[in-house]
Structure 1
Amino acid sequence: MAQYDRCSTTNGCACFLIAGATNFGLCSYQYLVECSQLTPCENSTNLCPRDYECVHHPRCHDVPICYPVRADNAELCPPILVMPNIPANARWTQNGVTVAGGHGAGSAINQLSGGWFGACGLFVDDDQTVFIADIGNHRIIQWKKGDTNGQVAAGGKNEGSGLDQLRYPSDVLIDKETDSLIICDRDNRRVIQWSRRRGTMQGEILVDNIDCYGLAMGLQRYLYVSDYRKHEVRRYQLGDKNSTLVAGGNGQGAGLNQLNEPRYLFVDRQQNVYVSDRDNHRVMKWTKGAKEGVLVAGGQGHGNALTQLSFPQGLFVDALGTIYVAEEGNERVTRWAQGDKKQVTVVAGGNGSGAGPNQFYHPLGLSFDRHANLYVVDWANVRVQRYSLE
């Protein structure tokens, strides 16, 4: 996104490129303050006082300036959500291409961890860079498009509880507003924020004392976290450790108001929360303020029929409301039409366990890029596969 590009559904909001960052900006209202009231950033470090961000604003100054970041900035300038345009009858290539890992289990920068602690969640950025929760290597690793080696983006300093360390991270996403990674640091029982700016050596704790597994962020920049031990999902305002229960919270079980080992999450424009309810072999949808969820996929018992799920993991919901689910137990990704739990299609895998390009061996994380290409963490094959839209 370029300087002053429109970044919000609100007229008057624009992108201010962040000084020292690459292709990232602050989406803010252009007329918060007069040019004469803006002061330059610290010359060598681009530092600003608290609640200010060092940005470029060439209409006012030739050098980077400190621009105010209001607490209600997300409400003032709600972002434009970039969703892939996936046709209702879309098809993907059946042979996946390995875009990360694929060199056996290990800790080298061209490898991912294996065994019981293989890679889990992933996030695909706008430029098709893939960020992976490399759980057994205690790091977040990124793979740029076309690269044979990854780069450590966070952690990677052995297992530990220091702010510069991770312990079995299970999911990751990018907060574009702050140009930072948000990480479920699972076995440290915390969610941390890790700036992507050059020179960042450690993270900052956002949420602690939580058995997190999956993460999601909605348009309003609320953070959603699944707790696989309390069998619930909570919503947090960034910077506030108080939370709101949005799914489950009624003990472990199979009732419509319960969850059983919830894993990954997806939040749509209407703040509906979709949960991969793993050990109930179903996907549940919880509307804002609901006391119980609605079954939207699976829920027909554990099995391999098209209308059944087997240990659902990663999930994605497109603009049409179609649900995509990675099934760890059935070695496939299935597509579920909105409102019809019987209209199900296998879009990738489904050819038994194996290491072939058309096979999975326990798929976990799932995402799409802005061009509607499908990405899947193929856990036991120690790789990430991309399936191109045909």
Structure 2
Amino acid sequence: MGRVNETFVLFLHIQIIFWCWIPSIISIKISPCARWNTTGEIVAGLGGRGNNLDQLLDPEGIFIHRQTNTLYVSDTGNNRIQIFTLNQLSSMGTTVIFNVTYPTKLYVDDDNDGQTIYVTVRNEDRIKKWVKGASDGVQVGGECLMCESVWVDKEKNVYMTSVMKHCVYKWSPLTDITTVAAGREMGQGSGSDSLDSPEGIYVDNISGTVYVADYANHRIQKWLKDALNGTTVAGLSTGNQGSDAESLSYPTSVWVDDETQVVYVADSDNNRIQRWLPNAFIGDTVAGGAVTSLPSMLSTYPSSLMPNSPQFSRPNGNIQNYYYYQAIRVTVTTSETYSFESVSSISTMGYLYDTSFDSSNPLANIVASSDNGGTQGVFHISSLLSSARTYILVVTTFQASVTGDFWILVRGPALVGLTSITTPIVKFVLI
């Protein structure tokens, strides 16, 4: 299988659908189960293929600048960087960088005196930056063989992916030193310490965590700051490709919602954008190709565990401790297998009961349970449910006396009824 050419117009449109949501995701609290319009619209290049101001030629990279609501486009075939104003009737772009040979990806950073544009210049194997008003770019960092992506963190460190050297570099402007932030330099492989032809990256500005589209390993890897190994957050950790819901095929771009930790992936060979919830085993398609093995219906239930929620001594918990819980009645109209997942900033656990739940005898009537082992956020339960029966899902926590918000996402062949049957405890204080 050869490398996918991202300059195809179809794939560009998929990238635009993906990236144009960045301003909204950054600026508002977006539900991890939000749905998008299945039809995208062209926001740049309305004039078709060419070199006029309303045209593009083989564009390879885009960046949304949310403060100015503008779209920057790496117009690769025309050797220029174009800027388009979003939500404006005019389709004309403005050229902000001229005569840059084979620009691919770009990143726009805000400095005190205006935007600084960082561009991967593939023919020169380097990253160059243009400050506001500059006619020429200057190189940042060292050589980056077949440089494919660029990111800048809040400390102005520049991250760049080298496809040929199978790693992500980090260049410090303070020391002028380049180090490896993910993968092993010239260490191509599929192990947890390796990458194979990495492409897109995303850097969490708060934690310094680097997310990498591990292109030839068909997965998204998450590298904590200064870590020697990465963990797989989307796709198969084995490096196997596929078109089903648990797989990816040559992913090229990744973006992460810092608040919910939901991962969005440009799954290029499957012509789709995939969304992966934290610690999820499968993704779902939010744009592009209809290839997906996910059930078609998604039911959601947002709620909270609060100090006035009831408590119980949960199964496999410390018998000396008590845990807040919420009991949710589950009803289905179609008998089939359904999957339950939680999304939360607290460490959640789930127990599914047949017909009834007794907090004083929590081992009775258990159908399935999920213990996430104390890792943050998620539990996952899959179970065959009958339309002739009623079930109770009990949501609780790994640690005792912990409160916080959570979402329950249920996937299956039909919508699921989810109703709380927990009564908050009202406490009276004698004065």
Which TM-score band applies after superposition, normalised by the shorter structure?
0.5 to 0.7
Q: CA offsets, 1:226-260, max 9 Å, x none?
A: 11110000111236531121101251111111111
SS at match of 1:98: coil
- The Cα of 1:129 is off from its aligned counterpart by 0.5
**Deviations 1:15-41 (CA, angstroms, capped at 9, x unpaired):** xxxxxxxxxxxxxxxxxxxxxxxxxxx
Contact kept, 8 Å, 1:286 with 1:294, in 2: the verdict is yes
The residue type equivalent to 1:143 in the other structure is F
Distance 2:241 2:26 in 1: 34
Equivalences, count: 256
| Alignment check: 8 A CA contact 1:334 1:348 kept | yes
Aligned to 2:139: 205
Structure 1 residue aligned with 2:123: 187
Aligned position for 1:136: 77
Instruction: Look at both structures and tell me which one has the larger radius of gyration over its CA atoms.
Output: 2
- Partner residue of 1:103 out of 41, 47, 50: 47
For residue 141 of structure 1, report the CA deviation from its aligned partner. Answer: 1.1
- Does residue 263 (structure 1) correspond to residue 204 (structure 2)? The answer is no
1:312 and 2:254 aligned = no
Q: Calculate the TM-score normalised by the size of structure 2.
A: 0.57
Out of 143, 153, 160, the position equivalent to 2:96 is: 153
Amino acid at match of 1:310: S
Question: Which of the residues 199, 205, 224 maps onto 2:159?
Answer: 224
Partner of 2:245, secondary structure, is: coil
Q: Tell me, which stretches of 5 or more residues in structure 1 are unaligned?
A: 1-80, 158-165, 353-390
The question of 1:291 aligning with 2:291 is answered: no
Cα deviation for residue 295 of structure 1 reads 0.7
Percentage of identical aligned residues: 30
The separation in 1 between residues aligned to 2:270 and 2:253, in whole angstroms, is: 13
Matches within 5 A, 1:37-116: 83-113=27-57
TM-score by length of 1: 0.62
Q: What is residue 279 of structure 1 aligned with on the other side?
A: 216
Bigger RCO (CA 8 Å, 6+ sep) = 1
- The equivalent of 2:104 in structure 1 is 170
Q: CA RMSD in A?
A: 1.9
Matched, 1:253 2:182: no
Within 2, Cα distance between the matches of 1:87 and 1:175? 27
SS at match of 1:329: helix
Where does residue 339 of structure 2 map in the other structure?
A: none
Contact 1:121 1:314 (8 Å CA) reproduced: no
2:325 alignment partner in structure 1: none
Partner of 1:346: 285
Give a deviation string over 1:319-361, Cα, whole Å, max 9, x none: 211000011111110100011132x111111148xxxxxxxxx
For 2:39 and 2:142, locate their aligned partners in 1 and report how far apart those are by CA, in whole Å: 41
Q: Amino acid of the residue matched to residue 266 of structure 2?
A: A
| Deviation at residue 84 of structure 1 after TM alignment | 4.3
Partners of 1:83 and 1:242 lie apart in 2 by 33
- For the 8 Å contact 2:274–2:286, the answer to whether it is kept is yes
Spell out structure 1 runs of 4+ moving beyond 3 A: 81-84
* 2:193 aligned counterpart, secondary structure: coil
Change (3 A) 1:84 1:131: farther
User: CA distance change for structure 1 residues 193 and 135 in 2, over 3 Å: closer, same or farther?
Assistant: same
C-alpha contact (below 8 Å) 2:141/2:178 kept by paired residues: no
Change (3 A) 1:82 1:330: closer
Structure 2 unaligned blocks of 5 or more: 1-24, 292-431
Contact conserved, 1:189 with 1:208, CA < 8 A, in 2?
A: no
Query: What is residue 334 of structure 1 aligned with on the other side?
Result: 274
Q: Which moved more, 1:237-246 or 1:328-337?
A: 237-246
Q: Work out the CA distance in 2 between the residues paired with 1:307 and 1:103.
A: 38
